Structure 1
């Protein structure tokens, strides 16, 4: 049975998300892919068109087809990069990885992201600074079933949000904004006091029905957020 364009699209996307074809990688041409998948070139062409429309690959005449270095987000809400936020304010950016662990997804995370029992997730706690002052506390979980390469990724120098933006797009997102009070741990990270008001953002993202990541971001009193649509 010949592969359909959906089969071809799904397999190419799998290779990209698993890191077999990383950002900037040249993808085999349509004739080669048709031979690999045992289908017509037109079938490959349709799969590649859809991947290009989704912002996953970039097709250029005579230059070939490559995985995008930064996949285009087909969504109204733009996921910001905290490095850019801080540098746009004219401040010096600094990043620190506070904790990293592979854990079985806790019940609350499984319920939120609809993960199966026993699923593994990478738990990262990070800090972002502006001119040396705490700016953002990042508490993130990455679904390793969707992104197994995250387990071996080096997050000591580059934050997980930047890595995710360069690695995989999202098709759905759920975002919540709230005000809360800092507990002892959070107050230590943000160089404040227990009970200080904090602005928090919780964000979950999915790619074609598969959960990618959940993150809780916390900011010191006085933080102001601006978005563009």
Structure 2
């Protein structure tokens, strides 16, 4: 590969993968440092850095400060889950979307929300719950807490006709988050809103999102037992 061809981070990644797959760098191998690779490939160190960083994010490489970069012993591909706009998800299933605001209150966080978002008891929060409907039938009950300082404009958002989910995805950037999948029995409130028997099995998704060190939102989404989710590896 010529220097002209290797001036992109994608070309650097391709060359690194070639050496890994050719067993020049087998699993567990400490590969050369950024400066050495930049010199060998005839490109900028920043180009090498981006290539290594993205390969580490896929699980192919392991990077540790002061310890260098190694080929992972057990490479793990990571599933990528985007934050969907629920309206789009329903419409993609060929159903008509409906929305009902259930509650909108400015209040301090509950102990659970405090723990999930690492916030003090007097944090300024907006509690919003709503129903998402598919062909006029319950699809998802969304129970959300938003950290107001991290979401400028949320208090003026038209949440009577636009879900907090859709507003946040469009208006507030995030850097990382955490998703928890679980099963639970329907509480009396969930049973009424989702039109199922109390105690019925529900599929639960809980998600927290952050922008750097600033927590943005915690949401609990409840689905009927027939809900299914598809992602890609």
Bin of the TM-score, shorter chain as denominator length: 0.5 to 0.7
TM-aligned CA deviation for residue 82 of structure 1: 1.1
Aligned to 1:200: 204
Answer yes or no: is 1:98 the counterpart of 2:108.
no
TM-aligned CA deviation for residue 170 of structure 1: 1.2
**TM-score, normalised relative to structure 1:** 0.65
**TM-score, normalised relative to structure 2:** 0.64
Give the distance between the partners of 1:172 and 1:159, measured in 2 at CA.
21
Partner of residue 88 from structure 1, selected from 69, 80, 92:
92
Partner of residue 111 from structure 1, selected from 111, 115, 119:
115
TM-aligned CA deviation for residue 148 of structure 1: 4.0
Would you say the 8 A contact 2:80–2:231 is kept in 1? no
Give the distance between the partners of 1:158 and 1:141, measured in 2 at CA.
16
- Aligned residue for 1:145, secondary structure, equals helix
- Aligned residue for 2:155, secondary structure, equals helix
Aligned length: 155
- Aligned residue for 1:205, secondary structure, equals strand
CA displacement 1:154-210 (0-9 Å, x = unmatched): 101111111001111211110000011101110000011101100000000000110
Unmatched 5+ stretches in structure 1 = 1-74
TM-aligned CA deviation for residue 104 of structure 1: 1.1
Would you say the 8 A contact 1:119–1:145 is kept in 2? no
Would you say the 8 A contact 1:78–1:228 is kept in 2? no
Answer yes or no: is 1:122 the counterpart of 2:101.
no
Aligned to 2:150: 146
Unmatched 5+ stretches in structure 2 = 1-78
Answer yes or no: is 1:219 the counterpart of 2:204.
no
Would you say the 8 A contact 2:204–2:220 is kept in 1? yes
Q: Based on CA coordinates, which of the two structures has the bigger radius of gyration?
A: 2
* Structure 1 outlier segments of 4+, above 4 Å: none
